[in-house]
Structure 1
Amino acid sequence: MSILSYNGSAIVGMKGKDCVAIATDMRFGVPHQTISTNYSKVEQFGPHLFVGFPGLATDKETVYRLRFRKNMYELRENRHIKPKTLLCMLSNLLYERRFGPYFVEPVVVGIDPASGAPFVSGMDLIGCPAESEEFVVGGSCTEQLYGMCETLWEKDMDAAALFECISQCILNAVNRDCISGWGARVYLIEKDKVTISDLKGRMD
């Protein structure tokens, strides 16, 4: 088993028309023992900027110190950080430890505060970014997520359609992975608001 799958996780970021969404499962455990069923792997870094951290839970908590660098940047620049800038900052943090890497593969989603354009990008554990115009997946059930997303995703979905699509994708994917699941949490990000929804799934 890969160390990236030790705690189990499922995260998907998806782009719509003037909106973006990220969804995470809620399980935290060690391979076949569930420890918590209310553990979100997504953290908020700005009013319209979120990062998901699939991978090893202890390294997720360590990489979360990126918030310090982000806060220092915003104090220096006197403005909210852009998604692309946070992506570069996170990439640098991971690449600094490339010979003893943090076992996380972050998913960055957000809306650019200047242009209002939606942004979705994934990254490997040494910080190589992969921006997408469609969707990005991460965690221990990426194959299932890819299959669902490629089937259901459509271009220029509105907020309601995007929410329905990402919800169906993550719930159906985690049903086919025994080390992720226990419901899901969806963050739907629009220009003027962020909606957080908890989804009930199979509890076994």
Structure 2
Amino acid sequence: MFVTARPFSLLPHLPGGTPPDADAEAEADHPPLTDGGAAVAMVGKDCVAIACDLRLGLQALTVSNNFPKIFQYGDVFLGLTGLATDVATVSDLFRFKVNMYRLREERNIAPATFANLVSSSLYEKRFGPYFVSPVVAGLEPKTGKPFICGFDSIGCIDFAKDFIVSGTASEQLFGMCESLWEPDLGPEDLFETISQALLNAVDRDALSGWGAHVYIIEKDKVTKRLLKGRQD
């Protein structure tokens, strides 16, 4: 019979006191939980939106309020939350792989194809994974149908028909998106919805926020907007 024990502290427990919180200790050593960040993608009517916060920090220390987490690869957008160094590494890795795909195939990569590329690339590193939680958004080139999906750190794909979230503000984002999202939103309504969801969610998470970037992806154009958020 196997028994799973909870992690414990090597520090002695004080008589009559409460033992140290092992869960809090584990969270303190987990890079995605210490670096913070938030990303969300939403589906609209013939359009799709993806947004991220701009904070770069280490727990309570804020290093920068201009650290974008969304990267464009042709017609596909990738949002990355997690360890900042892995965000930079993974974004450059996919820049290389997408450029090689374009040279071989002589066409831009489709969102569904890019999602499988992300999944297989992350799974290759499953024994020493990147500390990132990617989100992919785009429009299918042939049908114009919105496409969004998310991943865990080893590449398991989570397809979605409404919205997908990642980062330390995930729980808050889920609540806001469930409250505000509606089917068949137009580009302007979709922008308002994703902006309100993200700004209100990061206000309730100490590790993310400090402004946001929002991309509205339509068939013939991409609109990028900068949102000013609380700086505290």
- Return the TM-score normalized by structure 1: 0.98
Matches of 1:165 and 1:17, distance apart in 2: 13
Residue number in structure 2 paired with 1:59: 86
1:165 aligns with 2:193: yes
Q: Which has the higher Rg, Structure 1 or Structure 2?
A: 2
Matches of 2:95 and 2:117, distance apart in 1: 10
Deviant stretches of 4+, over 3 Å: none
1:50 aligns with 2:77: yes
Helix, strand or coil for the counterpart of 2:82? coil
Stretches of structure 1 lacking an aligned partner (at least 5 in a row): none
Stretches of structure 2 lacking an aligned partner (at least 5 in a row): 1-26
Q: Conserved in 2, the CA contact under 8 Å of 1:80 and 1:113?
A: no
Percent identity over the alignment is 55
1:77 aligns with 2:117: no
Q: CA deviation at 1:67?
A: 1.2
- Superposition pairs for residues 114-153 of structure 1, below 5 Å? 114-153=142-181
Q: CA deviation at 1:54?
A: 0.8
1:35 aligns with 2:63: yes
Q: CA deviation at 1:3?
A: 2.0
Letter of the 1:162 partner, please give it.
L
Helix, strand or coil for the counterpart of 2:209? coil
Q: CA deviation at 1:137?
A: 0.2
Matches of 1:93 and 1:6, distance apart in 2: 24
Letter of the 2:88 partner, please give it.
E
Helix, strand or coil for the counterpart of 1:144? helix
Helix, strand or coil for the counterpart of 2:183? coil
Letter of the 1:54 partner, please give it.
T
Q: CA deviation at 1:194?
A: 0.5
Matches of 1:63 and 1:196, distance apart in 2: 22
Superposed CA offset, 1:170-195 (max 9, x none): 00000001110001110110001000
Matches of 1:41 and 1:194, distance apart in 2: 17
Aligned residues: 203
Helix, strand or coil for the counterpart of 2:185? coil
Helix, strand or coil for the counterpart of 2:81? coil
Q: Which of structures 1 and 2 has the larger relative contact order (alpha carbons within 8 angstroms, sep 6+)?
A: 1
Helix, strand or coil for the counterpart of 1:6? helix
